[in-house]
Structure 1
């Protein structure tokens, strides 16, 4: 009938409005009510760069760069990852503490267990997340994506070849106090190298091995305590490690010498 058409149109419009707003509808099994419907958001392709967010990489915050931005090391990886740090025990211990805070288990291979005992006892809030082992006595760690491992090798100037090597979700950080005869081999095979203050002769040699620019390797002999030049095959970055109050209380202030 002609008079009934408006009623039918009104009913259909009300149904569409209900579907748009989610009001007056029955819950859908497993999904809940239909939410509000709005126009899709879109931007031109040439404006996509404006949507970038100031979020850093996933990993361990080791300090700040020259512009004061957080510097992050992605240590926990699904592929083998070797790190060599020519520097002080303090920086290695801060790195170990912060890696433990991300959920990694830390196995320390060292000939000076007394220097690591306080850290091992304090880390993890009572959980045994940092374990100490004599040189050459690190057992298999069973690393996995859900339980990554960082092996810290604090074995002096001439660390022997480790029984436990880098593997998926198991990174190895080797600490060298100075540029030793084994250093060139370690630097060449490492995915990441950190260098703290060294002598001018050592700086020149490291510059040749790592392919550093003159200004970069000359700066190595003048670095302040707590500053590290982190190098990858394609990047170089000077980083200042700033300890938290808890780290300072446990480890003391930043220092190059132990």
Structure 2
């Protein structure tokens, strides 16, 4: 058996012109090279014009003091707990907007009558918001393709839930006021929302969340629809503005139910 020399013409790779006067690399199986076009480029000082006015992906829960959208990434690959000391109206807006992101919403409540109209109207006939008695939420089977948000509307002293936060399953606990169980829930939550409370409650919340005095005192004067959202390292006042559809379903923003 004879072996051709590597220097022989038969073993040399073919080289063809690219149309620019320079030899080009062979393109095997990709057809002809198309026309040349200038690359899309943007000066560095103009890049900011392409920025989106949001800080995360998720659902818009309102606008900040500068009128920019405040976005909450509620569908997460890790367990996520939220405690909201506030009104039913805000919790229901959050449930609707969570469903709009594609999440299934399970509401654990002792006042199903307050949620029935919302559950029936959401999802265009699809059961994207389901209602369950307190302590009766079944396993939800959350996954990346089917995230779940559990809203616990169980009064001042919600019992320990059978369904807890898990990957792709966030839990939102609604407390109408600062109850004896609130400090425990706030300390284990990744996010805490506080709406208008009494001055005494505001002072206690300020100590728990380590708030500046000015923000602590402001909690007793917040307008309807305004929430102070707090994490371990950040705080932001947010005004929740309802859409026309949300207003038609839930009415105007209100702190008291």
Normalised to the residue count of structure 1, the TM-score between the two structures is: 0.85
Deviation at 1:107, TM superposition (A): 0.1
Q: CA shift at 1:32, angstroms?
A: 7.0
The answer to whether structure 1 residue 180 and structure 2 residue 179 are counterparts is yes
Distance (Å, rounded) in 2 between the aligned partners of 1:137 and 1:235? 35
What are the Cα deviations for residues 42-94 of structure 1, in whole angstroms up to 9, with x where unaligned?
Answer: 789x8697576124210110110000000001100000000000000000000
Aligned residue among 54, 57, 63 for 2:52: 54
Q: Which runs of 5+ in 1 are unaligned?
A: 1-11, 20-26
1:221 aligns with 2:224: no
Q: How does 1:155-234 map to 2 (within 5 A)?
A: 155-234=154-233
Superposed displacement of residue 35, structure 1: 3.9
For the residue of structure 2 that corresponds to 1:248, the secondary structure is helix
Partners in 2 of 1:155 and 1:247 — Cα distance? 23
The structure whose residues are more often helix, as a share, is 1
SS in 2 for 1:205: helix
Q: Distance in 1 between matches of 2:243 and 2:109?
A: 25
User: Which residue of the partner structure matches residue 94 of structure 1?
Assistant: 93
Offset from partner CA, 1:175-227 (integer Å, 9 cap, x none): 00000000000000000000000000000000000011111110000000000
Deviation at 1:153, TM superposition (A): 0.1
Superposed, which structure 2 residues align to 1:10-159 within 5 Å?
Answer: 16=19, 34-38=33-37, 50=48, 53-56=51-54, 57-159=56-158
User: 119-128 or 49-58: which moved more?
Assistant: 49-58
Task: Please tell me the root mean square deviation across aligned C-alpha atoms, in Å.
Answer: 2.5
Match of 2:11 in 1: none
Q: Compared with structure 1, are the counterparts of its residues 236 and 40 closer, same or farther at alpha carbon in structure 2 (3 Å cutoff)?
A: same
Aligned pair count? 237
Distance 1:35 1:162, change over 3 A: farther
Distance 2:224 2:53 in 1: 28
Counterpart-to-counterpart distance in 1, 2:139 and 2:46: 47
* Residues 18 and 118 of structure 1: CA distance in aligned 2, closer, same or farther (over 3 Å): farther
